[in-house]
Homo-oligomer: A and B are copies of this chain.
Amino acid sequence: MTPTGPTVSMFALLGLPEFRPGDDLAGILGDALAGVAHDGDIIAVTSKIVSKAEGRIVAAADREDAITAETVRVVAERAHADGSGTTRIVENRQGLVMAAAGVDASNAPDGHVLLLPEDPDRSARHLAEVLRDRLGIRVGVILTDTLGRPWREGQTDAAIGAAGVVVLQELAGSVDGNGRPLAVTAPAIADELAAAAELVKGKAGNRPVAVIRGLGHLVTGLDVPGARALIRPSERDMFRWGSREAYADGYAAGLAARDSQA
């Protein structure tokens, strides 16, 4: 029979409580993972429960105002054809480019919205520290959120926070199966872990935490870069602005140049 490589397995934790501001998330997850987690496991935690436990719930009469408050830079916006509002793709306080700045009204009480953790890497690191200490094993932690993307329909989960796990595998200097250099390849491991975890966490059920087992070679000390390293600096981004916004800026500059020549 065909030989196979090592098996990676993934499963979600069931029966976790609804999290509220002030909850000791690390303690609760430590309890939940005791006897379940193994050395080398990677724990994928939906960022929404981190936000809830950290009290990142704010009263907001208007979700749009909350989005504005979290926005550092509007990347692109477009009014919905049906007049139901505007999609805003922005760079938020965490440096992430995402729809609605990561402000979530669907998982918060009426009249409130849920914000992303203030510093997702710090939150991930705290979780990893507590879990490692509590369980006596080396685990990696990623915080996940759901991101849309240009050019492709639907969303995939990505890592917005990480600790104790390789986030980006720099393969420059490595070779492919033919011995040729893999110069520009750098798998965004933490995003692939987040996407994989979503397959067992899902969106509808109350399964905000998944365990990924069998990738212990990706688990590291806590002194490696977090998920912030997956954010491309906007000045190096060929899609720093929406097409319509960039066109409008160019148009205005073209007019002004013409005026100054006149």
Hey, which bits of chain A sit against chain B, CB under 8 A?
1-15, 18, 32-36, 76, 78, 87, 89, 96-97, 106-107, 146, 149-158, 168-169, 171, 174-178, 180-182, 185-189, 191-193, 195-196, 198-200, 203-207, 211, 215, 229-232, 234, 237-259, 262
A248 to chain B, nearest CB (A): 6
Main SS class of interface, A: mixed
> Which residue in chain B gives the minimum CB-CB distance to A178?
B107
- Interfacial chain B residues near A203, Cβ < 8 Å: 171, 174, 176, 182, 185, 187
Contact, CB under 8 Å: A6 / B2:
no
B residues less than 8 Å from A169 (CB atoms):
154
Sorted from nearest, which 6 A-B pairs have the closest CB atoms? A254-B254, A250-B250, A154-B188, A196-B196, A247-B250, A246-B246
Q: Is the CB of A239 within 8 A of B11?
A: no
Complex contact B239–A150 (CB within 8 A):
yes
Beta-carbon contact of A192 and B156 below 8 Å: yes
Q: Are B8 and A4 in contact (CB under 8 A)?
A: no
Q: Are B32 and A15 in contact (CB under 8 A)?
A: no
Which residue of B230, B239, B247 contacts A153 across the interface (Cβ within 8 Å)? B230
Give the complex CA separation of A174 and B106 in angstroms: 12
Instruction: Establish whether residues A106 and B181, one from each chain, have CB atoms under 8 Å apart when the complex forms.
Output: yes
A sample of 4 more A-B contacts (CB under 8 A), given A153-B186, A195-B195, A238-B242, is A6-B200, A106-B178, A150-B239, A251-B257
B2-A32 in contact (CB<8A): yes
**CB of A131 to closest CB in B, whole Å:** 13
Give the docked Cα–Cα distance between A47 and B89 (Å): 32
